Structure 1
Amino acid sequence: MKKLIKVAAISWATVSLMLMAQYSVAASDFVGVRQITAASKERGSDLAVTVWYPADAGGKPVTLGENRFFVGTDAMLEAPLSRGKYPLILLSHGAGLGGTPQAMSWIATPLAKQGFVVAAPVHFGNGGANRSAEETMKLWLRPADISATLDTIEKQPLFENHFKFGRIGVLGLSMGGNTALLLAGGRIDPARLASYCDNDALNPSLCKWVKESSVDLHSTDMKLAGRDNEDKRIEFIMAIDPAPVDVFQADAFSKVSIPVEIVNLGQPGTIPLTALALGIAMAIPNGSYSTISDASHYSLLGECKPDAGAMAESENIGDPICSDGNGQSRLEIHQELVTMAIEAFDQKLKSPR
């Protein structure tokens, strides 16, 4: 019987350093970053895509993901791509303050440093200046953004000769985890999604925003919501604190054919039901599940600047954006998640078949 539950211990910080040393043999000295576009029939426009990659010296120093709340991550804009062939990780970001590719730079940059090309499209309306509750709740559009990005990356002259054929994975964080599970073969239940914000019990913060934006999910056109979004080019999926998970069709995951690793953040018994994905992991034939008890859903955001928590409270942000669990700092939690991701994608995308 497969082992589904692995609860991370506080001593992981020590293990993390050992694992990072193990993978440093394949590490690049530099991380490059480029902005490209991907044509999207679904959106009717081009998607902005951020790509991180192993690089040689050169380019212009930039810091991605930094704002008044969060510390950013350094990379080299337009640096030359290092010689070699690399697996590809398609990264799906969350919504709100985590609703841009740059907000995920804390995990994308170290993955690129460890020998992966990481490509993240903007999911329109999910964050930034164009944030929209109506667009954010169109969960079924997000997987097509990832597939369109893959279509483009495969044809990009800069990258096409640097991929290991068929070595493609997806990493999704928060709502990006929902996207990743849809790409694996999960399907949305339109009725569940339509009733998601009938009250605030499932997701108080998100549903408050939906209601304040005068969005009625029951009136939203969901004729495509339950469609099949599986992309058979993808070999492995990792979803970290995926949400919402309570809008899926109950029987779809038993048919998923690829390995899927799911990580929940928080103490077992305290993880919000809208993110609790143990049942999904158990339903997937090759699924695995673990938790990080010293973390919270907000641990997926960037490392907070010293006054960020107080600033967010004074500005009525409404979420404790700098609140983690007990026992580890956000930086330590990020190090743990990065190490888990490196280990998982190394095993699934770099190991001989």
Structure 2
Amino acid sequence: MILPFHILAATWIAVSSLLALQQPAVAAGRDVGVRQAFAVSKERGADLAVTVWYPAGPGGEPVMLGESVFFKGTSALKDAPVSPERYPLIVLSHGAGLAGSPQALSWIATPLARQGYIVAAPAHPGNSGPNRSALETMKLWLRPGDVSATLDAMETDAAFRDHIVTGKTGMLGLSMGGNTALGLAGARLDPQRLADYCDTDTLNASLCEWVRMSGADLHSLDLGSAGRDNRDGRITFAMAIDPAPADVFDPKSFAGISIPVDLVNLGQAGKIPVTADVSAIARTVPQARYTTIEDASHFSMFAECRPGAAELALSENIGDPICADGGGRSRYEIHAQMIDMVVSAFDRVFKPGL
């Protein structure tokens, strides 16, 4: 299955609050701070919560992010001062379901901040938590606007505006966040493909089960704006890992993407779910790089599982194998490769010569 949206999993949403720790946030290297910010979204009609990780100076309260009954958390220093330099900015877009919050991606955001990036992740409405909504989640054309609103906020936020390198802004998206990254790069949704997406379970059984059980009908969505151009010229590089759904775009729009794009699939060729397979898309994007991690799975984008999490998920009738990777290596090892891959990609674009 792709995109874990099993309805029972909604009761186990990753903890989004900041939980205190009694240990240093970073064992070695640059300290990482975390702050909560807000972005004004006129289209959403509400402020968006934004989690920001950054290279930190001394101070701050040790906290743990993304910890839940299933997943291990990642430590950082709450409200630590920003280290007095300038850094490239990366906007991070999360997926939905159990990975449907910024904090759920702390495992990748924290290493990026440790390597000298400011990472800002908006919470996309409807994707998880008590206000989860299948219809809101499927309004994929609104997600790029959340990122643009986050960029607006970061440009004026007193804590960060003087620490961001102008002209070095990137985009990283995982799962549904990868769909968002492609949209910001210039890919356009095909309204009819989106409306038809859950007519059967062929493309995405897990997601479409949630849509169906919610009583949602994608054909009832107002798709008048769905095919619009959502690109944001401030973003000069985008990276998408297992972007899903990737098959709801107008295929002709990929040729119009003018910025470098790195595309990553998790799994072996021929076994990657069709809705996340971007191997063909990579051949149509002018400046695309395509990579696979063959012994990973879509669930490798989740945080490391706690001991007993797989058994707990089974006992709670969660239909997705949230702790299963591709076999052979541990999730810790796969994460190490993914982190190195992501850091190297952004360093290649924003820190040439390193």
**TM-score where L is the length of structure 1:** 0.91
Counting aligned pairs with the same residue, the percent is 62
In 2, Cα distance between the equivalents of 1:86 and 1:114? 10
In 1, Cα distance between the equivalents of 2:116 and 2:78? 17
Query: Which residue pairs with 1:177 in the alignment?
Result: 178
Amino acid at match of 1:110: P
Moved over 4 A (4+): none
Query: Which residue pairs with 1:310 in the alignment?
Result: 311
Within a 5 Å distance, the mapping from 1:234-253 to structure 2 comes to 234-253=235-254
Query: Which residue pairs with 1:12 in the alignment?
Result: none
Query: Which residue pairs with 2:140 in the alignment?
Result: 139
Contact preservation (8 Å) 1:169, 1:235 = yes
Amino acid at match of 1:256: I
In the TM superposition, residue 28 of structure 1 has moved relative to its aligned partner by: 5.1
In 1, Cα distance between the equivalents of 2:252 and 2:177? 21
Query: Which residue pairs with 1:105 in the alignment?
Result: 106
| 1:148 is aligned to 2:149 | yes
| 1:259 is aligned to 2:260 | yes
Within a 5 Å distance, the mapping from 1:76-95 to structure 2 comes to 76-95=77-96
Give 3-state SS (helix, strand or coil) of 2:178's partner.
helix
Amino acid at match of 1:275: A
In the TM superposition, residue 165 of structure 1 has moved relative to its aligned partner by: 1.1
Query: Which residue pairs with 1:43 in the alignment?
Result: 44
Query: Which residue pairs with 2:210 in the alignment?
Result: 209
- Post-superposition Cα deviations, 1:292-336, rounded to whole Å, max 9, x if no partner, equal 001000000110001111111111111010010011111111111
Count of aligned positions: 326
Contact preservation (8 Å) 1:254, 1:283 = yes
| 1:341 is aligned to 2:342 | yes
Amino acid at match of 1:270: K
Contact preservation (8 Å) 2:55, 2:113 = yes
Amino acid at match of 1:131: R
- Post-superposition Cα deviations, 1:77-114, rounded to whole Å, max 9, x if no partner, equal 00011011100000000000000000000000000000
- Post-superposition Cα deviations, 1:31-88, rounded to whole Å, max 9, x if no partner, equal 0000010100110110000000000121000000000000000000000110111000
In the TM superposition, residue 138 of structure 1 has moved relative to its aligned partner by: 0.5
Within a 5 Å distance, the mapping from 1:57-68 to structure 2 comes to 57-68=58-69
Alpha-carbon RMSD: 0.9
Contact preservation (8 Å) 1:266, 1:325 = yes
Amino acid at match of 1:314: S
In the TM superposition, residue 29 of structure 1 has moved relative to its aligned partner by: 2.2
In 1, Cα distance between the equivalents of 2:345 and 2:71? 27
In 2, Cα distance between the equivalents of 1:339 and 1:89? 16
Contact preservation (8 Å) 1:65, 1:102 = yes
Contact preservation (8 Å) 2:62, 2:78 = yes
In the TM superposition, residue 199 of structure 1 has moved relative to its aligned partner by: 0.6
- Post-superposition Cα deviations, 1:213-237, rounded to whole Å, max 9, x if no partner, equal 0101111111111011000110100
Contact preservation (8 Å) 2:30, 2:115 = no
Give 3-state SS (helix, strand or coil) of 1:56's partner.
coil
- Post-superposition Cα deviations, 1:178-216, rounded to whole Å, max 9, x if no partner, equal 000000000000000000000101000000010000101
Amino acid at match of 2:290: Y
Within a 5 Å distance, the mapping from 1:156-305 to structure 2 comes to 156-305=157-306
What residue ranges of structure 1 are gaps of 5+ in the alignment? 1-26
In 2, Cα distance between the equivalents of 1:165 and 1:137? 32
**TM-score where L is the length of structure 2:** 0.91
Amino acid at match of 2:299: Y
In the TM superposition, residue 130 of structure 1 has moved relative to its aligned partner by: 1.6
Contact preservation (8 Å) 2:104, 2:303 = yes
What residue ranges of structure 2 are gaps of 5+ in the alignment? 1-27
In 1, Cα distance between the equivalents of 2:209 and 2:293? 28
In 2, Cα distance between the equivalents of 1:155 and 1:350? 24
- Post-superposition Cα deviations, 1:131-155, rounded to whole Å, max 9, x if no partner, equal 1111111100100000000001011
Amino acid at match of 2:203: L
